[in-house]
Amino acid sequence: RTTAGGTGYRIRIVSSNPSSISFDNGSNIQVKALAANRTVSSNSPLCEPDTVRLFSNTSTAGTTFSWAGPLSFTSTLQNPKTGNSTTVHSGQYIVTMTTNQGCVSKDTTTVTVKPLPQKPVANNDTSLCTGATLNLSASTATSGVSWSWTGPNSFSSTSQSPNRTSVTTADAGNYIVTATLNGCSRRDTTNATVFAITAIPMASNSGPYCIGSDIELSASSIPAATYTWSGPNGFTSNVRNPVIPAATLAYAGTYSVYATVNGCNGSPATTTVAMVTGPSVNIFPSPNDTVCGNTTGSASFTAVPTNAGTGFGYQWYKNGNSVAGATNSTYAATGISTGDVYSVKLIPGTGAACTTPVNSNGIQMTVMPYITPSVTITVSPDSIAWYGLLLTFTATATNAGNNPTYQWKRNNQNLTGALSNTWGATNLTDNDRISCEVTSSYICPQPSKVTSNSIRLKISTGVKSAWAGKAPNIYPNPVKNLLIIEGIQSGTIIQLNDVTGKTLLRKTAINQTETLNTQNLIPGNYILLLDDNKGNRLQVKVVKE
């Protein structure tokens, strides 16, 4: 049992068997008291990383304290503490109290440090327009947490990812989410911006407009706003005051515009554009938009107005520059270069539906150089022939355009129907002269028509063959390979034609006996022609096997 402290205590030994009591020790013993009224406590339970606070007390003055605990914790303070606690700081903390008389007593308090959940991450839509839904979200790597949201305008929620519908600018600001696990909480903040709905602009136009004039649309100014226009004929624009140049009737109708500030679209405003049929003017070049000239050319232009009223006027333009003194309905232009553009501005007169001047179509000019055409003709098989033989003439035109026209002539007289680049006949006579006249299709010929060389024909009349003396010997006939011609003079022309008159083989004799190799000819009938240029001519039918 506990003995009260004091002096005058002695010790006796008391025996129960045998029953006996000894003498006391013969001197007084002092009993020292322990620290009185001791209390020990802590701020447990607590959450990481709160400070562990330990408390001890006694009514015995002069008492000293010594603490020991987890992680080799020690302290001689009466009420020590340790910061940045973690769960490993949990456990028993023992305090030893020692009085000034050396009496020692120990007491224990248990501390529990609970873990914090992982810090949550808060997010939102960031920037919203008035009336939209604000979507909040939170996440953490710790499972089993409970959630709590607070925010502007008395917002609160226990959902992990709540939303707030039909937000206003009063709902903008910081939203705080708290994740709690076993009474320990961590927070994160996300800021939401709510922009006011953009104001409605005032839309207008300066119409009505004449067809061909510029439509001018206008929207009132809203600070920091962008604009979106839409309208008839697929019109769109992001300019505050757009212009539609040279508008047609298709642009009449209702145009809509809305303003956008901070990504928030306002309601649209509309304006209606009216189009009226006003004056118009077209111009026409003469001879056309391509003129001739070695460096520059000339042309005349005529303006044709409609709905211009009375007393209207003109101003002609070259390459967008007004031409001094050119104020009539016609304009004679000189010094034209390729690429020059001519137009006229019509100044409406009295009674016109619109008084705004209108521009005509533009005519872009091209200047082409003068080119001299030429033509040559050839005859097949030869200009020396006999009556009844088909002679074919071919004309070759140069610098005469892509589609020149032809007119064949016999003795300077036009041949009816002979209008292609080839012509043939079997009824030609001796001394006939054949030529061809070509008309150039090029736009700037100089001259437009040219005549070819003239071919004079030498035609034998009467019999087809006339050979003085002994006629040449021609064999074998029919022939398979070599055709032999004997009894001719050096210089004799040897020619083998098909039945259409086309020359297939031709040579000039060197010896009195010559050969023609017919190996590559197809079987059929051919005409062998001999001409010794001394008036002797011979025509022989040759059969190729």
CATH number for position 85:
2.60.40.10
Could you tell me if 246 and 326 lie in one domain? no
CB 517 within 8 A of CB 500: no
Could you tell me if 496 and 530 lie in one domain? yes
Find residue 542's DSSP bridge partners.
Answer: 526
9 in any annotated domain? no
C-alpha span between 58 and 105 (Å, rounded): 11
433 in any annotated domain? yes
Find residue 425's DSSP bridge partners.
Answer: 391
Could you tell me if 288 and 348 lie in one domain? yes
Could you tell me if 409 and 447 lie in one domain? yes
Rounded to two decimals, the pTM is 0.48
The per-residue pLDDT for 358 is: 87
Could you tell me if 286 and 272 lie in one domain? no
Could you tell me if 419 and 478 lie in one domain? no
2 in any annotated domain? no
CB 367 within 8 A of CB 388: no
Structure tokens at 512: 């009195």
Picking from 47, 112, 348, 317, the residue whose alpha carbon sits closest to that of residue 213 is 348
C-alpha span between 496 and 484 (Å, rounded): 13
Could you tell me if 380 and 454 lie in one domain? yes
The per-residue pLDDT for 463 is: 41
466 in any annotated domain? no
347 in any annotated domain? yes
C-alpha span between 210 and 345 (Å, rounded): 15
6 in any annotated domain? no
Question: What count of other Cβ atoms lies within 10 Å of the Cβ of residue 420?
Answer: 11
Last residue of a domain, one of 195, 216, 234: 195
CB 419 within 8 A of CB 542: no
User: The domain containing residue 157 runs over which residues?
Assistant: 121-195
User: DSSP secondary-structure letter at 161?
Assistant: S
The per-residue pLDDT for 203 is: 98
DSSP string, 405-456: EEEEEETTEEPTT--SSEEEES---TT-EEEEEEE--SSSBSSSEEE---EE
User: DSSP secondary-structure letter at 471?
Assistant: P
Structure tokens at 260: 């956008």
Could you tell me if 289 and 354 lie in one domain? yes
**Overall number of domains in the chain:** 6
Which CATH number belongs to the domain containing residue 483 in this structure?
2.60.40.3080
CB 409 within 8 A of CB 435: yes
The per-residue pLDDT for 540 is: 87
76 in any annotated domain? yes
C-alpha span between 434 and 392 (Å, rounded): 11
Which residue in the block uniquely carries the two structure tokens 């000019």? 365
Q: What is the mean pLDDT of each run of 10 residues along the chain (545 residues)?
A: 61 84 76 86 96 95 96 96 95 96 95 96 92 96 96 97 96 97 96 95 93 92 97 98 94 98 96 91 96 95 95 97 97 97 96 88 97 96 78 96 98 96 91 97 96 90 64 94 94 87 89 94 91 81 91
The per-residue pLDDT for 4 is: 63
The per-residue pLDDT for 1 is: 45
Query: Counting runs of H as helices and runs of E as strands, what totals does the chain give?
Result: 0, 59
Could you tell me if 289 and 355 lie in one domain? yes
Query: In whole angstroms, how far apart are CA 222 and each of 132, 194, 199, 225, 260?
Result: 22, 19, 7, 6, 9
User: DSSP secondary-structure letter at 461?
Assistant: -
Could you tell me if 294 and 267 lie in one domain? no
Helix, strand, coil shares of the chain, percent, nearest 5, are 0, 50, 45
Last residue of a domain, one of 253, 276, 299: 276
Q: In what order do the strands lie in the sheet with 493-497?
A: 503-508, 493-497, 524-531, 537-544
Structure tokens at 429: 């006579």
Last residue of a domain, one of 63, 97, 114: 114
Could you tell me if 379 and 364 lie in one domain? no
Structure tokens at 480: 């398979």
14 in any annotated domain? no
Residues 413, 418, 423, 424: is their CA dihedral positive or negative?
negative
Structure tokens at 299: 């042309």
Could you tell me if 269 and 348 lie in one domain? no
